[in-house]
Amino acid sequence: MYDFEIRHAPDAGGHFDGFGGKYAAETLMGPLAELEAAFYASWEDESFQNERLRLLQQYVGRPTPLYHAERLSREIGGAQILLKREDLTHTGAHKINNTIGQGLLARRMGKKRVIAETGAGQHGVATATVAAMFDMQCDVYMGREDMQRQAPNVFRMELLGARVIPVDSGTATLKDALNEALRDWVASCQDTFYIIGTVAGPHPYPLMVRQYHTVIGQEARAQCLAQFGCLPDMAVACVGGGSNAMGLLHPLRDDDIRLVAVEAAGHGLDGDAHAASLAAGRPGILHGNLTYLLEDDEGQIKGTHSISAGLDYPGVGPELAAMYEAGELELEAATDEEALQAFSRLSRCEGILPALESSHALAAAMRLAADMQPEQMLLVNLSGRGDKDLDTVVKIVEDQKAAGQTP
Ligand SMILES: *Cc1c(COP(=O)(O)O)cnc(C)c1O
């Protein structure tokens, strides 16, 4: 089911058709080169890969099922909808595939401490989880604003033995936490490994994180062939930074499959309250790489909005920018409202509460499936479970009830 060939590798400078690269402080060039060499050596090392697969199986719960949502497909009356169930992994989302990989690499490199940035807290929890298992010290940078909005995840990280460091700079959210983590790493890289949470950051991070997540698409491809005797016609994933999307889509790139990325349209793409970096952004440099960004005319990063904290990032992984410009990727968007509708539809129709991030992918998938034929198949990455979002959803449903609207 799994193969370790690195397809569509970036060039020596870490560029994917010009996007990506290594725009980092001089002092980080050495550590980044060391990281790159260690990553490639580990990737070729059979014992490393065996240990990674053992943990993905025994600890994470892979392979995750590929589920044919028959009732939902019937209701929509178009293509058959297949769900890749990343929501069933340990910690409830795809992010742990990456933290297992980077955690193992940190151990191999002899690092005793890991650091991470987190927005909603999901990547922080996945990092703290792995740090506990590997007996490593763990510090997680989190915007003070986010710490207030996501208090239960702060508590989770602390229970797992991590220290959560509040970040007050900028807007005190994810992008500022990432800046602080990079700053820490400049001073601490001797004994510290920086675990980045998505396919962003300077080279080799976008490549590494992608490779750790390709288990998603490799499994889905094999499962689809085994269960249905053919490949899907279309594959759909939501995009925050782009790690679950690259994980699902990358192993399907060389097949004749339409690849679709779904961005968060927030209150709508016509205003500024969204997080659609590809649809509404332009190339610029952030967090060590050249990619599509939401920035104003002065080059300042704009504030973003999405109902799902995990999609609320003003950039996108550089390889997705390259795929988009090359015409390899179709772009869709879903608003807060559409994501909420998809959330309740999947809950009622299939008994699965999806994460609000994944609900964006579902919203677009249901729209696209309706225009397809019943003998066609559409694969959706259900990147996480919705339990973490219950407070958000319940509050909105209560408000709608109070306003006399039916949910
Ligand atoms: C973090 C998160 C995302 C967005 O991150 P990507 O790197 O774009 O995958 C999507 N879904 C869930 C459930 C998440 O936790």
Domains of the chain, start order: 15-58+95-210 (3.40.50.1100), 62-92+214-401 (3.40.50.1100)
Residues in contact with 113: Cβ distance below 8 Å, sequence separation at least 6, in sequence order: 136, 137, 138, 139, 188, 191, 192, 193
Question: Is 383 designated active site?
Answer: yes
pLDDT tens-digit map of 227-272: 999 999 999 999 999 999 999 999 999 999 999 999 999 999 999 9
The predicted structure's pLDDT at residue 407: 55
The predicted structure's pLDDT at residue 406: 62
Average pLDDT over residues 199-218: 98
Nearest CA to ligand 1 atom 3: 310
Rounded distance from Cα 26 to ligand 1 centre (Å): 30
Q: Answer yes or no: is the C-beta of 353 below 6 A from any ligand 1 atom.
A: no
The predicted structure's pLDDT at residue 345: 98
The predicted structure's pLDDT at residue 171: 86
Considering 22, 95, 111, 175, which one is annotated as catalytic? 95
Rounded distance from Cα 251 to ligand 1 centre (Å): 18
Q: In terms of pTM, does the model score above 0.85?
A: yes
Angle between helices 205-228 and 26-44 (to 10 degrees): 30
Q: Kindly indicate the confidence band of residue 149, based on its pLDDT and cuts at 50, 70 and 90.
A: confident
384 CA closest ligand 1 atom index: 13
| Percentage of the residues of the chain whose pLDDT score is greater than 90 | 93
Which tokens hold the place of 124? 């922080």
Q: Answer yes or no: is the C-beta of 241 below 6 A from any ligand 1 atom.
A: yes
Rounded distance from Cα 98 to ligand 1 centre (Å): 12
- Of 325, 359, 129, which Cα lies nearest the Cα of 240? 359
Q: What is the residue-averaged pLDDT of the chain? A: 96
Q: Answer yes or no: is the C-beta of 242 below 6 A from any ligand 1 atom.
A: yes
Considering 73, 243, 277, 383, which one is annotated as catalytic? 383
pLDDT tens-digit map of 312-354: 999 999 999 999 999 999 999 999 999 999 999 999 999 999 9
The predicted structure's pLDDT at residue 150: 87
Q: Kindly indicate the confidence band of residue 172, based on its pLDDT and cuts at 50, 70 and 90.
A: confident
Considering 86, 117, 180, 295, which one is annotated as catalytic? 117
Rounded distance from Cα 404 to ligand 1 centre (Å): 33
Q: Answer yes or no: is the C-beta of 247 below 6 A from any ligand 1 atom.
A: no
Residue 37 has pLDDT above 90, yes or no: yes
The residue assigned the tokens 């994944």 is: 358
Cα–Cα dist 44/29, whole Å: 23
Q: Is 58 exposed, middle or buried (0-12, 13-18, 19+ CB in 10 A)?
A: exposed
Average pLDDT over residues 364-375: 98
Rounded distance from Cα 383 to ligand 1 centre (Å): 7
Of 79-83, 117-121, 204-208, the poorest mean pLDDT is in 117-121
Q: Answer yes or no: is the C-beta of 354 below 6 A from any ligand 1 atom.
A: no
Residue 284 has pLDDT above 60, yes or no: yes
